[in-house]
Structure 1
Amino acid sequence: MNATPNLTTYVIAGGCFWCLDAAYRQLRGVTDVVSCYTGGHTSSPSYEQVCTGATGHAEAVAVTFDETEIPSSVILDAFFTMHDPTQLNRQGNDVGTQYRSAMFPADDAQRATFEAAIERASEWWPSEIVTTIEPLGEMFPAEEYHQDFFAKNPTQGYCLAVAVPKVNKVRAAFTKYLR
């Protein structure tokens, strides 16, 4: 999934995609974030369908970044900072397989990079990490109103209660890479 030699895209899921999207947009070198659905068995699912858990999809983000500005290890360490990878099929009050912690590698090299990131993260999480590595398969962009949701809805209750603390964790841990 490399459009140019220095651009890389990782597809990852860790709870509501609004939070992942908001946190990644804080980092220098991130060129694009697309909220999407992947890992399921239904073609072109809607948000409402994914929310039921019946499609098998996870709420995910496709994060594209420039490796000359931000290392892939920082992208993945931020992922393990902004969500709790020890919670199975949930993040806080968001419960269901659509909120699972998962990584979707595009190739064997990404798989190895993801495995190394899980190993690194296991050193600072006190409980077992349950993040799965699943085949990438087909990705479906989420509806337009989900794209850059936090920026469009900064005073929305969920954003204030859930996204802001995650954004703040990433900002505190990765100050060197902030925009």
Structure 2
Amino acid sequence: MKKAVFLDRDGVINEVLTERVKFVNEPTQLYLLPGVAEAIKQLNTVFDYVFVVTNQGGVGLGYMKESQLIKIHDHMKKVLRQEGAIIDDVVYCPHKPKAGCACRKPNSQLIDNLAKKYNVNPALSYMVGDTDTDIVAGKKARMKTVFIGNSDPLADAAFPNLQGAAEWICRDVAQSEKL
């Protein structure tokens, strides 16, 4: 079986709720956070796959169409690829935040479906996010979790940015493989 890193999008890969952008509703509003491309490149060297798993309630709330969201994700993948960083797949929950769907994080359906599709072993994989819902979804999927921010009591580790998280994840994998 393969191993993968599952990344939340907003607040992990790109800016959100900053001076420059409130929400990403079109490709021109997507600004990568510092060090993201380098971090993903590092993860690409250790993992079979790097995925993005994101709640995008703005679709269900009518702030953007699903076709626009797909354009945003295609743009994100293109910009990262130009830096040598590869995102293998992007999945999202388009439903309203309180819709009660099975795919919205903190549920793990998006993660579980990707793991099944790509033959990924959750025990060898990591979920990285900046909210409790990301961490809970990763735990439900039976993988290690990394919180982007100050701390999260449920997460296995916490770092201020994806670069720090990627370095720790790669060290953790190397250590596990020595056992």
Q: What band does the TM-score fall into relative to the shorter chain?
A: 0.3 to 0.5
Greater RCO (Cα-Cα under 8 Å, separation 6 or more) = 1
Report which of the two has the higher share of strand: 1
- What TM-score, normalized to structure 2? 0.36
